Structure 1
Amino acid sequence: MAIDSNDSKLPWYRRTFRWGQTNLTEMDPVGCDMSWWKQYWRETRVQGVIVNAGGIVAYYPSQLELQYRAKGLGDRDLFGEWVTEARNEGLAVLARMDINRATQEFYDAHPDWFVVNRHGEPLTTDGRYFSCINSDYYKEFIPEVLKEIIAAYGPDGFTDNSWTGVSRSNICHCEHCRRKFKAASGLELPAASDWNDPAYRQWIKWSYSCRIENWDLFNKVTAQYGGSDCLWLGMVNANPVKTHASFCDLKEVGERSKIIMCDHQSRDTLNGFEQNSLNGYLLHGVAGWDVIIPESMANYIRGERSFRQGSSPPKETRLWMVEGIAGGISPWYHHVGAVQEDRRQFDNAPPVMQWHEENEAYLYNRLPVANVGLVWSQENTEFYGREDADEKVALPWHGFVRALTRARIPFVPVHADHIANEAHRLDVLILPNLAAMTDAQCQSVRQFVEAGGSLVFTGATATLDEWGEVRSGFPLESITGIQPLHQVAGAVGKVSSNWAFYEAHNYFRLPGDRHPVLAGFEKTDILPFGGHIHRVQAGGQLKAVATYIPSYPIYPPEFSWVREPQTDIPVMLAGEHAAGGRIFYFAGDVDRCYGRTHLPDLGDLLANAVQWAASEQLPIQVDGPGYLDCKLYRQDNRLILHIVNLSGANQNPGYLEEYLPVGPITISIRTDDLVPVSVQLKVSGKQVKLDVSSSWITVRIESITDHELLVLE
């Protein structure tokens, strides 16, 4: 179904593109100026607002005795005022909740509703007690809060950024958790985190299901008392590794959601600005491209030090916002506090939001054009990543994301359970160290290759079952001809920052007869590596592309000479399947090493392997300087291309201070059945010439500052 912000017949969640959130503080009722906020809504062109209602703090005169009221509320109904003014402006309203902790008074009244450790001691922070997701706090009290807010104010729905309760670092031993886990598994609760304990592994899966159970409960309540379009939405973070810490099942949430509210406010130390376009792609991948996905975008300072009332640097905020828009994210400004002394933050969002309104016709009702799928799963994060998910899962994932972005190769994230559904759109699947896989997921990969698809995989992929246990056989042997030996050599685990760390001073040996993946390395016979390799026995399909040079001393320099210049240990293998597809295996963890170091040689190897696997049949080629994130879409008889200039923007820690314009940029797009005759540049407004030659169209742009939107039709 098409989405259109001007179609009043559509439900609010299909026509509300731009959002604004004011996260109220306890003393905001004293000085909040609603007339000022109404003007800001107009400047930012928002169609919906998100404002605090109840839970941890109530901003309305709740009749529920134990619900804590904001310290400065007095006789004021601040939430009610926001709802009234927003309705007068024609805006949708979502009531923000935070339900994971409560006061001493509440705990004293219902101690069995709160998280306790195995000794029966409650979990607290700053004088608040953490509520248990399996207790009547979630099952009875929060539904009463929802019903009260619906009856008094009739919001369109609810959000909650803490709906998942306490993190995985706390195993709750309250009576509700003990009884419920025993009934579900037949086991007692695990005493502590122990991946060798079957009960702990069962607890991990069970913990996910408990959160989804509450998601369904809250939506049942809001639908019953507020109507079918009154939605309870939680909030999610789109990073597939980070979300495992809170037991948020992105796939299950995506399958349930009519709109996804994404709480991913800024870049972090590992993932740069490109993470935000990936956020949109990943969440659309689980929810569908007809679902609107707003994202909370911080206007306060985040980073090495966060300042809730300080203004985020404007270019930092703007680039994060336009990167999200490029990936299909709807903008959603976020301010902490209704009264601000650093008023610079209010200059950040309006220009982007106004541009978004002017160009919304090109930003929805479209599908990505990409024939490469980057596979992910939360099972792999849990049961392979375990206590070290950043090292085992996040780094390989980030390595491929950055390598593909840097090489301007369009790709889409694909959940491992969705491979069969997405196969018809794809020519190449990438499995980035996807060690823990179900039998069904492995079968989908085999079917993809047997139907002519190409495969790039790395490291320990498919060597573990869904619980993280070593498989007796290799489920991809029939399509790859290799058999893992379950032996690892080189630098394993987190690599020391000491530059003389011995095990990481290793290399690749390049042969005289070079595979196409080694293009660009003609002037060297070795490549720096720095990681570890998985030993395999290769069959007929795959042949070694390069071999391993073991580590040797790096210091002192007099001792830094190669002890073992040649081995027969393959670090990369390539071949063709009988069905016509190409297969490339990185036995060396190039994806992880590139994710850690961003060494260009390693990124080039990853990108070259994907280009080779795709038989050079990629839908777009972008030539010119700079680090550019390119997202191509098809919309009816249009092609729409976002180019976001990330050049010089990914230093971290730090904040973006200046744009570094790049150009000229030459863009070539494969036409297939659509041959555009005109092109519009929707950021610069400049006119450019479009050339059509054979099956390609070519456009040249002289310069890009922060981003450009090309509409070809």
Structure 2
Amino acid sequence: MSENSISGTYATGKPVAAPIPWYRRTFRWGQTNLTEMDPVYCDMEWWKRYWRDTRVQGIIVNAGGIVAYYPSSIKLHYRAAGLGDRDLYGEFSTEARKAGLTVLARMDINRATQDFYDAHPDCFVVNGKGEPLMADGRYFSCVNSDYYKTYIPEVLKEIIALYKPDGFTDNSWTGVSRQHICHCGSCRSKFKQYAGLELPAAADWNDPGYRQWIKWSYQCRMENWDLFNRVTREFGGPDCLWLGMVNANPVKTHASFCDLKEVGERSQVMMCDHQSRDPLNGFEQNSLNGQLLHGVAGWDALIPESMANYIRGVRSFRQGSNPPAETRLWMIEGMAGGISPWFHHVGGVQEDRRQFGNMPPLMQWHEANETYLYNRQPVSNIGLVWSQENTEFYGRADADENVALPWHGFVKALKRARIPFIPVHADHIARDAARLDVLILPDLAAMSDSQCEAVRRFAESGGHLVFTGATGTLDEWGEKREFFPLEAVTGIAHSHQTEGAAGKQSSDWAFFDTHNYIRLPDLDERHEVLNGFEQTDILPFGGKLQRVQAADWLNAAATYIPSYPIYPPEFSWVREQRTDIPVMLAGENPFGGRIFYFAGDIDRCYGRTYLPDLGDLLAGAVKWASAGTMPLKVEGPGYLDCQLYRQTGRLIVHVVNLSGTQQTAGYVEDYLPVGPITVSVKLDGSEPACAAMKVSGLEVKPVIADGWATVRLDTLTDHEMIILE
């Protein structure tokens, strides 16, 4: 049987070989993001050698949309300035086919030329005055217009007829962002039919019509997703998929009306355009990317991710080579999260040729270790919950402050404490509850009734909860609930009143409102979450808290010290030493579940400051709630991101060394080796006889004791993958 086939049967019952579809067997990808002058200079022979060096199995190359790289016969389909008589997309497609590679035609459909606008002005975004939206001499197309509904399907059909690509990608399929309310005729009539309302004149979260427009805007994008897939499958066959592209950050995607859950439910493969780290999220974001997208698409789906080889950061340079360690760590973290690597270069010809040395070694390692990187399931009993509704209707005009910081605060705290977790969409709590012991709800304020009900059932079955802030106090539209639906299982009654600093801190460091603290109890009364703080009676806070009433089975683990002057130093003394206002509450509910509630927004504060004390509190609460059930322990120096997976007959541990990368923005120039590191995995039956290190090449016998298998790494440079079997 060939590697591109699977066994099956005809009606006769005789075994046959059926082809494995491309989206189940293409693990390594390459993208040449063509520029308009590449048809003049691009060297196909060079790219063929690079494909071999990087072991790619599929390529993504520009075909049409904003710029056509083939001789399109469609009127107004703008051709690349340097195309002339050349068919550059056709050449890439032909040579890739000869090499046995999957080919995806890349599109960009969010804007068009002056000629197109002059011929079809009704296809483009306009403001309330009827003025078109433009950038760099191009007009932005409207997702509800005939540009999307008629013209782009014709382009897809032409490309299919000429080249028969395996599928299509598009990095701008969602159109313009939420910053622009399009008032074209298509949008006006369609929204009227949907909501019975006129389009909102401006962003106003207090306007129910604006909130309806937000929800409707997501629906419009998914309608186009379904339309394009109907076209590509009808004319290209059932496996010719239109895939768009997504960013895996669940907060960032709301700006473009991309609903990751809806996309995941429709996708055989999710193409992730999340090219590098950013100052807030760091490298650890990439292992999270893979797990979050697998959570919505399934662990049998492949998740390729575009990985930039050009310089990104405070200043980006499209043709400059990214520092090798920067690219490599992003790739390694992605692989640890189940992501398929996908090189990305802007331009078919590069004068800074250093970037072409970034990918081959790690792509070759990926090929050699394919067996361990796919067909596996994460092993974790802790779920970190997110949702699009919370981003929209709690995040509202400031999703970074309201949603991203609490979410990221927990991500960072768990990664730093080497606690494996899985991202869980709020709609999937009931689906995933059976394999979880702990749910974390990071200020998940806006929740639907069904989401609250799923949390309630989880807690009533003995599940443990760690939650913060205003979780569950708003409905799915972001409106305050009269009654907190989780009161019976959490012991918390909300007053909808807050205390302390609210909103962003000013650039002036001497900011009175955030100069507040946490009061710790006397040593003999302290909760175990406060272990390690024996030498202090206060902890820095810097945030706000919810005023709540607590059931008698909850105890205050710490209380609030109100703000007082920070400057001048002579005035910086505590005005109110003690209050009875709880910052943290802990206890066991009547159903046997452990409950830890952060009334104070410690998750948000940690996401903003990375102050270690706050991260220790978050991680300590999760460890306490898990009651000793976590399946992985990693001990030793350094900032390590650790993931645990199960395959039939084996356990797989990824340990990625991020030491030195978490302090400031910039670029990784070298690795900081750490060690020794001790890795212990809780066994669920058979005892592994061997531990194979797939980076260093070593093999050792694990130490088996008390139901754990332990392996020692003397030193860790960038990463290690341990196979226990």
Matched, 1:224 2:230: no
What pairs with 1:433-472 in structure 2 (closer than 5 Å)? 433-472=443-482
1:553 is aligned, of 562, 565, 587, to 565
What is the match of residue 420 of structure 1? 430
What pairs with 1:262-341 in structure 2 (closer than 5 Å)? 262-341=272-351
Q: Please report how far the alpha carbon of residue 5 of structure 1 lies from its aligned counterpart in structure 2 after TM superposition.
A: 6.7
2:543 is aligned, of 531, 534, 540, to 531
What is the match of residue 383 of structure 1? 393
Tell me the SS of whatever aligns to 2:122: helix
Q: Which moved more, 1:52-61 or 1:480-489?
A: 480-489
Q: Which amino acid aligns with 1:663?
A: G
Q: Distance in 1 between matches of 2:662 and 2:583?
A: 29
Matched, 1:184 2:191: no
Tell me the SS of whatever aligns to 2:419: coil
Q: Please report how far the alpha carbon of residue 650 of structure 1 lies from its aligned counterpart in structure 2 after TM superposition.
A: 2.5
Decide whether the 8 Å contact of 1:21 with 1:334 is kept in 2. yes
Decide whether the 8 Å contact of 1:480 with 1:541 is kept in 2. no
What is the match of residue 698 of structure 1? 710
Q: Please report how far the alpha carbon of residue 687 of structure 1 lies from its aligned counterpart in structure 2 after TM superposition.
A: 2.9
Q: Which amino acid aligns with 2:485?
A: P
What is the match of residue 149 of structure 1? 159
Q: Which amino acid aligns with 2:226?
A: D
What is the match of residue 721 of structure 2? 709
Q: Distance in 2 between matches of 1:668 and 1:434?
A: 33
Over residues 230-274 of structure 1, what are the superposed CA-to-partner deviations in whole Å (9 max), with x where a residue is unaligned?
A: 000000000000000000000000000000000000001200000
2:371 is aligned, of 334, 342, 361, to 361
Over residues 345-392 of structure 1, what are the superposed CA-to-partner deviations in whole Å (9 max), with x where a residue is unaligned?
A: 000010110000000000000000000000000100000000100001
Over residues 18-66 of structure 1, what are the superposed CA-to-partner deviations in whole Å (9 max), with x where a residue is unaligned?
A: 0000000000000110000000000000000000000000000000010
Q: Which moved more, 1:262-271 or 1:571-580?
A: 571-580
Decide whether the 8 Å contact of 1:542 with 1:573 is kept in 2. yes
Q: Please report how far the alpha carbon of residue 547 of structure 1 lies from its aligned counterpart in structure 2 after TM superposition.
A: 0.4
What is the match of residue 593 of structure 1? 605
Q: Which amino acid aligns with 1:46?
A: V
Q: Distance in 1 between matches of 2:122 and 2:506?
A: 45
Q: Please report how far the alpha carbon of residue 658 of structure 1 lies from its aligned counterpart in structure 2 after TM superposition.
A: 1.1
What pairs with 1:23-422 in structure 2 (closer than 5 Å)? 23-422=33-432
TM-score, structure 2 as length reference? 0.97
Q: Which amino acid aligns with 1:629?
A: D
Q: Distance in 1 between matches of 2:314 and 2:664?
A: 9
Decide whether the 8 Å contact of 1:689 with 1:700 is kept in 2. no
Q: Which moved more, 1:454-463 or 1:572-581?
A: 572-581
Tell me the SS of whatever aligns to 2:699: coil
What is the match of residue 657 of structure 2? 645
Matched, 1:682 2:683: no
Q: Which amino acid aligns with 2:590?
A: A
What is the match of residue 540 of structure 1? 552
Q: Distance in 2 between matches of 1:69 and 1:674?
A: 61
Q: Please report how far the alpha carbon of residue 667 of structure 1 lies from its aligned counterpart in structure 2 after TM superposition.
A: 0.9
Decide whether the 8 Å contact of 1:688 with 1:700 is kept in 2. no
What pairs with 1:541-620 in structure 2 (closer than 5 Å)? 541-620=553-632
Aligned-residue sequence identity (percent) comes to 75
The alignment's C-alpha RMSD in Å is: 1.0
What is the match of residue 670 of structure 2? 658
What is the match of residue 511 of structure 2? 501
In the comparison of the two structures, how many residue pairs are matched? 711
Q: Distance in 2 between matches of 1:562 and 1:48?
A: 63
Q: Distance in 1 between matches of 2:430 and 2:443?
A: 19
Q: Which amino acid aligns with 1:681?
A: M
Decide whether the 8 Å contact of 1:236 with 1:263 is kept in 2. yes
Q: Which amino acid aligns with 2:127?
A: N
Over residues 683-713 of structure 1, what are the superposed CA-to-partner deviations in whole Å (9 max), with x where a residue is unaligned?
A: 0112333100121111111000000000000
TM-score, structure 1 as length reference? 0.99
Decide whether the 8 Å contact of 2:4 with 2:19 is kept in 1. no
Decide whether the 8 Å contact of 1:376 with 1:413 is kept in 2. yes
Q: Please report how far the alpha carbon of residue 4 of structure 1 lies from its aligned counterpart in structure 2 after TM superposition.
A: 7.1
Q: Distance in 2 between matches of 1:610 and 1:252?
A: 29
Q: Distance in 1 between matches of 2:426 and 2:62?
A: 37
Q: Please report how far the alpha carbon of residue 500 of structure 1 lies from its aligned counterpart in structure 2 after TM superposition.
A: 1.1
Decide whether the 8 Å contact of 1:30 with 1:73 is kept in 2. yes
Q: Distance in 2 between matches of 1:362 and 1:6?
A: 20
Tell me the SS of whatever aligns to 1:446: helix
Q: Distance in 2 between matches of 1:135 and 1:171?
A: 14
Decide whether the 8 Å contact of 1:11 with 1:229 is kept in 2. yes
Q: Which amino acid aligns with 2:276?
A: S
Decide whether the 8 Å contact of 2:491 with 2:589 is kept in 1. no
Decide whether the 8 Å contact of 1:664 with 1:701 is kept in 2. yes
Q: Please report how far the alpha carbon of residue 577 of structure 1 lies from its aligned counterpart in structure 2 after TM superposition.
A: 1.6
Q: Please report how far the alpha carbon of residue 617 of structure 1 lies from its aligned counterpart in structure 2 after TM superposition.
A: 1.1
Q: Please report how far the alpha carbon of residue 543 of structure 1 lies from its aligned counterpart in structure 2 after TM superposition.
A: 1.5
Matched, 1:479 2:489: yes
Tell me the SS of whatever aligns to 1:374: strand
What is the match of residue 14 of structure 2? none
Q: Which amino acid aligns with 1:267?
A: R
Q: Which amino acid aligns with 1:649?
A: T
Decide whether the 8 Å contact of 2:689 with 2:701 is kept in 1. no
Q: Please report how far the alpha carbon of residue 134 of structure 1 lies from its aligned counterpart in structure 2 after TM superposition.
A: 0.2
Q: Distance in 2 between matches of 1:653 and 1:443?
A: 41
Tell me the SS of whatever aligns to 1:188: coil
What is the match of residue 10 of structure 2? none
Decide whether the 8 Å contact of 1:5 with 1:17 is kept in 2. no
Tell me the SS of whatever aligns to 1:674: coil
Q: Distance in 1 between matches of 2:664 and 2:676?
A: 27
Decide whether the 8 Å contact of 1:181 with 1:188 is kept in 2. yes
What is the match of residue 15 of structure 2? none
Over residues 601-657 of structure 1, what are the superposed CA-to-partner deviations in whole Å (9 max), with x where a residue is unaligned?
A: 000000000000000210011000000000000000100000000000124420001
Q: Which amino acid aligns with 1:36?
A: W
Q: Distance in 1 between matches of 2:288 and 2:539?
A: 30
Q: Which moved more, 1:645-654 or 1:306-315?
A: 645-654
Cα pair distance change 1:589/1:614, threshold 3 Å: same
Q: Which amino acid aligns with 1:658?
A: D
Q: Which amino acid aligns with 2:668?
A: L
Q: Which amino acid aligns with 2:464?
A: S
